[in-house]
Chains A and B, each alone.
Chain A
Amino acid sequence: MLKVEIYRYNPETDSAPYMQSYEIDTEGKDLMVLDVLELLKAQDSSIASLLS
């Protein structure tokens, strides 16, 4: 399991940014940060990241 800390902020609901922890099973694969973010987004669609 890989532990990921993500910097979160939704200006519509949050008064300040905060860190949120996630755990993800990478199935032993050597993933890039972008791939991990994509997997996390499938779990929690409120995560925003800019692609490319």
Chain B
Amino acid sequence: MSNMRTISFDGIVIGGGGAGMRAALQLAQSGYKTAVITKVFPTRSHTVSAQGGITCAIASDDPNDDWRWHMYDTIKGSDYIGDQDAIEYMCNVGPEAVYELDHMGMPFSRTEEGRIYQRPFGGQSKDFGRGGQAARTCAAADRTGHALLHTLYQGNVKNDTVFLNEWFAIDLVKNQDGVVTGVIAMNIEDGEVVYVKSKATVFATGGAGRIFASTTNAHINTGDGLGMSLRAGFPVQDIEMWQFHPTGIAGAGVLVTEGCRGEGGYLVNKDGERFMERYAPNAKDLAGRDVVARSMVLEILDGRGAGPDGDHVFLKLDHLGEETLNAKLPGILELSRTFAHADPVKELIPVVPTCHYMMGGIPTNVDGQALTVDANGNDKVIDGFYACGEVACVSVHGANRLGGNSLLDLVVFGRASGLFIEKALREGIEHRDASESDLEAATARLHSLNTTNNGEGAAGLRTELQNTMQNHFGVFRKGEFMQDGIKKLADLRERISNVKLSDKSKAYNTARVEALELQNLLEVAEATAIAAEERKESRGAHAREDFQDRDDENWLCHSMYYPEDKSVGKRAVNFAPKTMEAFEPKIRTY
């Protein structure tokens, strides 16, 4: 590969969503030569789909709001395996990060008094669960992610961030000391493969919802960051924890925001009954997402699902009135009319729990430094390697993320990673350069794909993978079923490593990109499957029919999946916030 071009930056960020662009902005503002590598145009990253808002105690709706209440909700929502120091940091620093966005020009919705509009979301409370429902989610109508992403893109353009748009990162480059020195990336436009070298490589590649057949995630959410990281031998944490969003439009998978229920909408079964009153008498439709999703599946399994196949329930919004719906949820009206052929002003929207968010990911500290665990069980920083946003597991979401916390996670930890790298660059970072053989190792997968001629096509393999995950690792899970799924994935691994690329052309060869993405999907799927089978309890989004209770004695911990021997270990959850006593695990009811 001696003819491969090398380009160098002080910092590179893989992924142009909210976390990546916030990290890049921090570095570029400080004058460091920063590049964002993104496989789509940045404002097309999946952050753009975030609808309802960004949860943060800015005390606009309630002048007495307290970030500690938000911290309590988030820890309870995580089913107690969110790291309390990281959650404390996020909830405490959050208001600063949100006001920064406001000052950059992000067009938030406003109250009569001109303050940022906040709406109620699931799992929110006042006074540590004692003061009833809070309204803490800052919103720009029902297109908050869109507003956020455009604001950050403009900030980056203004600060001369280099955008490598429609470039696909293929694999990490590690030097002989195991330090990450950059990535191998391909320019999709002309197929050129380049070594992008940097003192700091930040993964902000987002989630991997496309491992499931039914998902609210875009086609691009293929877990590229996790694939690269796992192939480099680095562990992933809590990867069995996948959130199923209660309100995906049945059949289409498109999301309608939890903000619909925040604004007063609720779920009904085929008999028109508001069934959440039975499952969560207090919070009802605004209980944690895992609780609502499971309740919906139980309704459907009990024969109270709607439609010819009885396979969905309904979201009712018509009682809110056309004026409110037009003002607060205009995008939802359009999505429902287009994808469900139902007009929410007068009809019910058919909805079903749909894969939405990956709580697990690359373990990091609050500075975004990627971690592994050494032989003595101690955390060890991976030099040169950082992660933030959905691909990272700080962990602020634990076993179940609260609505509105993902956008906060993006900006707070994108910013924190940027701040840390900025300081490290100022103090000086020296790495040994990658050798010729290090680069060969990092390009081996691409080389193999380009020379294989006898395998199966990507499309069929991808469908098989997605169906396997959907059927064996969905909302409810069972040991023997998961073991079957793991066997199917082992077979798929053989076939996917040998995937056939019929079209070997260079310019805009999206078939090559899709084959590489498929291999990333497989890495995430297998890690998910093995970790899910190993965690023998029910907690948050991980619900097992064969182990129905939470087991704090054995599983009040993170799972760590190690790709080299496909083993699963445990890592302690942080119970040491800096400014207060820890919140002790309690039975979680809504």
List residues of chain A with CB under 8 Å of any chain B CB.
Answer: 10-13, 30, 34, 38, 41-42, 45-52
Contacts and interface: CB of A to CB of B under 8 A. Distances in A.
Contacts of A51: 40, 218-220, 510
A10 B507 contact: yes
A32 B177 CA distance: 49
A12 B505 contact: yes
15 contacts: A10-B507, A12-B506, A12-B507, A38-B459, A41-B510, A45-B458, A45-B503, A46-B503, A46-B505, A46-B511, A47-B510, A48-B510, A49-B510, A50-B510, A52-B40
Contacts, number: 50
A52 B44 contact: yes
A34 B218 CA distance: 11
Given A12-B506, A46-B511, A52 B220 contact: yes
A25 B506 CA distance: 30
Contacts of B218: 51-52
A42 B502 CA distance: 11
B249 to A, nearest CB: 12
Given A41-B514, A45-B457, 17 more contacts: A34-B219, A38-B459, A41-B510, A41-B511, A42-B457, A42-B459, A42-B460, A45-B458, A45-B459, A45-B503, A47-B510, A48-B511, A51-B40, A51-B219, A51-B510, A52-B45, A52-B219
A30 B219 CA distance: 19
B509 A48 contact: yes
Contacts of A13: 505
A47 B501 CA distance: 13
Contacts of A52: 40, 44-46, 218-220
Nearest to B511: A45
A49 B508 CA distance: 8
Contacts of B45: 52
Helix, strand, loop or mixed for chain B's interface? loop
B66 interface: no
A41 B219 CA distance: 14
Contact of A50 (B40, B459, B509): B40
Interface residues of B, number: 24
Contacts of B511: 41, 45-46, 48
Nearest to B457: A45
B163 to A, nearest CB: 15
Nearest to B219: A51
Nearest 10 pairs of A and B residues by beta carbon: A42-B459, A45-B511, A51-B219, A48-B508, A52-B44, A46-B503, A48-B510, A52-B40, A52-B220, A45-B503
A15 B45 CA distance: 33
A51 to B, nearest CB: 4
B505 A10 contact: yes
Contacts of B40: 50-52
Interface in B34-67: 40, 44-46
Contacts of A30: 341
Contacts of A42: 457, 459-460
Contacts of A11: 507
Interface string B457-477: 111100000000000000000
Nearest to A45: B511
Contacts of B508: 48
B502 A45 contact: yes
A46 to B, nearest CB: 4
Nearest to A30: B341
A30 B44 CA distance: 24
Interface string B343-374: 00000000000000000000000000000000
A41 B44 CA distance: 21
A48 B432 CA distance: 39
B263 interface: no
A48 B45 CA distance: 19
Nearest to A39: B459
Contacts of A46: 502-503, 505, 511
A41 B507 contact: no
A10 to B, nearest CB: 6
A34 B46 CA distance: 16
Interface string B217-259: 0111000000000000000000000000000000000000000
A10 B190 CA distance: 11
A19 B166 CA distance: 25
A11 B506 CA distance: 9
A42 B461 CA distance: 11
Contacts of B459: 38, 41-42, 45
Interface in B435-477: 457-460
A45 B509 CA distance: 9
Contacts of A49: 510
Nearest to B463: A42
Contacts of A48: 508-511
B531 to A, nearest CB: 28
A16 to B, nearest CB: 15
Contacts of B506: 12
